[in-house]
Chain A
Amino acid sequence: MRGVIGLFRELDTTCDAIAILKKKKFGEFTVYSPTPRHEIEHAIDRGPSAVRVFTLIGGLCGVTFGYWIAIWISDYWPIVVGGKAIATWIPYTVFGFEVMVLIGALATVAGLFATARFPRITHTVGYDSRFSYGDFGVWIEPSPDKLQEAEQLLRDAGAVEVRVER
């Protein structure tokens, strides 16, 4: 897909560009920043992350498995002590808790990979190593007839460098 990348030196001009892009309905765009910023998140306003769903499901699976494995082992290989239950939930809470944390944390990472769409092999068009250093970037993929308008818009918003990539 052909698109336009604009490189910005300042945070506020980047936010200006986002606001204008949203106002003019240029479609999907990607913002690059060296660090997460509230201002950018607020300007884009994408809604809450879905990572929490993975965390919840992972945690619930983990706590269930933790209790289950301890109870199953106790029943399968019973160590009988007079007056004591074969399987008992109080000490097995340790397993329930630890496995909940383990699976929940790993599920969170899986959720991050799924929602943020990485690991990825290529950087795709638009990425510039300056975006990890100190500069900001805005990538848009307008329809071919709006390409020049997009370039001009980014320049007007304060981009110090604008180029078309495919």
Chain B
Amino acid sequence: MATATKPVEDVELLRRPNIPSAEVRLPAVKDYEQVDDEITATLHPTAQWFIGLGVAILFLVIGALAWTYQIYTGLGVAGYNPPVMWGVYIVTFVFWVGIGHAGTLISAILYLFRAGFRTTIYRCAEAMTVFAVMTAGLFPILHLGRPWKFFWLIPYPNWRYIWPQMKSPLVWDVFAILTYLTVSATFLYIGLVPDFAILRDREKNPVRKRLFAQLALGWRNTDREWRHFVRAYLFLAAFSTPLVLSVHSVVSFDFAMSDVPGWHTTVFPPYFVAGAIYSGIGMVFTIVIPLRKWFNLKHYVTINDLDAAAKLALFTSLVVGVSYACEWFVAWYSGSPAEKQFFANRLWGQWWWASALLYTCNICLPLSLFSQWCRRNTTWLFILSIFINIGMWFERFVIVVPSLSHEYEPWQWAGYRPTWVDYAILCGSFGWFSMWFLLFIKQFPVIALTEIKEIVKPRLKFRHAQGVDSTAHPLPFMPDTPGEFD
């Protein structure tokens, strides 16, 4: 038989894998079949999953009842106290938008940078993004006195002949959040299509098989499909990358465009983006660490992957720390009495404890990640991620509430106390997010099957030299296939 393969005798060459570092990345994963079998096995619902889903739905119902009460009674039940007319809802809106950012960072930006550790965690992070943005999008509507009029912010021909104020950051927000939700959901779905095809071919239940067949859109794994898919995925990642930076910049404009002390500063866009990515990575740890244990996927989401993600968390926490320092410096250097007064109030005012909490959670505790032992200790990473989530929620609280309660005129200064409605709706948002996520992880694979297969060494009949493919051609630089430079 005529063959183009070139068996190699050089022992030194044979020692190096033909597929760069594939065996090093996932040494316990031997072949494609193992990937499908182990990851699709996680889709069977368990009693613990039903309990978790029940708790999530309970929280959601509590939030829904509180919102119903608020609509019936009026927005006054939400604890607003003029001039503090932005409270827990806007804080939680910024929090959830921020959570979404790490998902896009991991799935899109790290894809473009060929960061190998993203492959095993990006599906979870991407789903987290979509559900977090779905949650965030509810809060500006909750914050409206007449929530059923929310669509007035969208420019469309209407009988009132009235159009939105296009110079308002609130209208920019509508465009940014809707674009972000659409592109994130599209990116998630397109990435899932080849996996749907795998599920369609494996599924025994006729109803689910039919559902997966519909979702797979007739995908057949042909060379034509892969060629265009890989390129389209790259472009979607390229679009999502600046979107990450733009969306939270636009959210920060909601504050920075006003002249409220503590808000009117040019450091807000990069500060918000870094904070968003930091909080999102915290949430990724909160989700992924229990999942890899419950689903027995420790040999896929390895300690090395978590270590690399922890370095990213450390880096973004340092950026956030520098941003805090910039805020303080500008308040001092500007010479503005209102700014100075406001920042003094942050430290020693009514919410001193919230400031202390956020600095502890966001700056001090993450410094532990300089230690490799901490980065590779999943228990500590999980505990730290909870602190990061708490710290980042309070960061937004300290930005929103104390600024409004401590403006230029002392007679305007006021207090703010969230009510049970605020707390119930906050709980409801976690229930809403958790419900969608729990439903996702039992219907769809939490680890991308086809992308994992890309970093698993394929079956070969002959052994080949490093740097050449199985047709004896030199391997070209092809930056459109993930995993090549892991």
Q: A111 to chain B: which residues have CB within 8 Å?
A: 228, 232
Complex contact A49–B471 (CB within 8 A): no
Question: In angstroms, how far is the closest chain A Cβ from the Cβ of B452?
Answer: 9
Complex contact B228–A115 (CB within 8 A): yes
Question: In angstroms, how far is the closest chain B Cβ from the Cβ of A100?
Answer: 8
Asked if B484 is at the interface (CB within 8 A of a chain A CB), the reply is: yes
Binds A, one of B56-64, B76-84, B457-465: B457-465
Q: Which single member of A32, A98, A122 contacts B175 (CB below 8 Å)?
A: A98
Q: Which single member of B32, B36, B182, B478 contacts A102 (CB below 8 Å)?
A: B182
Q: A158 to chain B: which residues have CB within 8 Å?
A: 1, 461
Complex contact A91–B179 (CB within 8 A): no
9 nearest CB pairs, A to B: A12-B470, A120-B218, A134-B32, A119-B217, A129-B201, A35-B453, A49-B231, A112-B232, A36-B226
Q: A108 to chain B: which residues have CB within 8 Å?
A: 232, 235-236, 239
The answer for the CA separation of A10 and B473 in the assembled complex, in Å, is 17
How many residues on A have C-beta within 8 angstroms of the other chain's C-beta atoms? 75
Could you list which residues of chain A lie within 8 angstroms of chain B, going by C-beta atoms?
A: 9-13, 15-16, 18-20, 30-44, 46, 48-52, 55, 69-70, 73-74, 76-77, 79, 88, 91-92, 94-95, 97-99, 101-102, 104-106, 108-109, 111-112, 115-124, 127, 129, 131-134, 156-158
How many residues on B have C-beta within 8 angstroms of the other chain's C-beta atoms? 76
Complex contact A10–B220 (CB within 8 A): no
Complex contact A133–B33 (CB within 8 A): yes
Mind listing 21 A-B residue pairs with CB under 8 Å? A12-B461, A15-B471, A18-B471, A35-B32, A36-B226, A37-B458, A41-B223, A44-B223, A46-B227, A49-B231, A50-B228, A88-B167, A97-B246, A101-B183, A101-B246, A112-B229, A116-B225, A116-B229, A120-B218, A124-B220, A134-B33
Q: Which single member of A16, A99, A156 contacts B5 (CB below 8 Å)?
A: A16
List 6 other contacts, CB 8 Å, given A70-B166, A101-B179. Answer: A35-B450, A38-B484, A77-B161, A117-B224, A119-B218, A156-B1
Q: A77 to chain B: which residues have CB within 8 Å?
A: 161-163
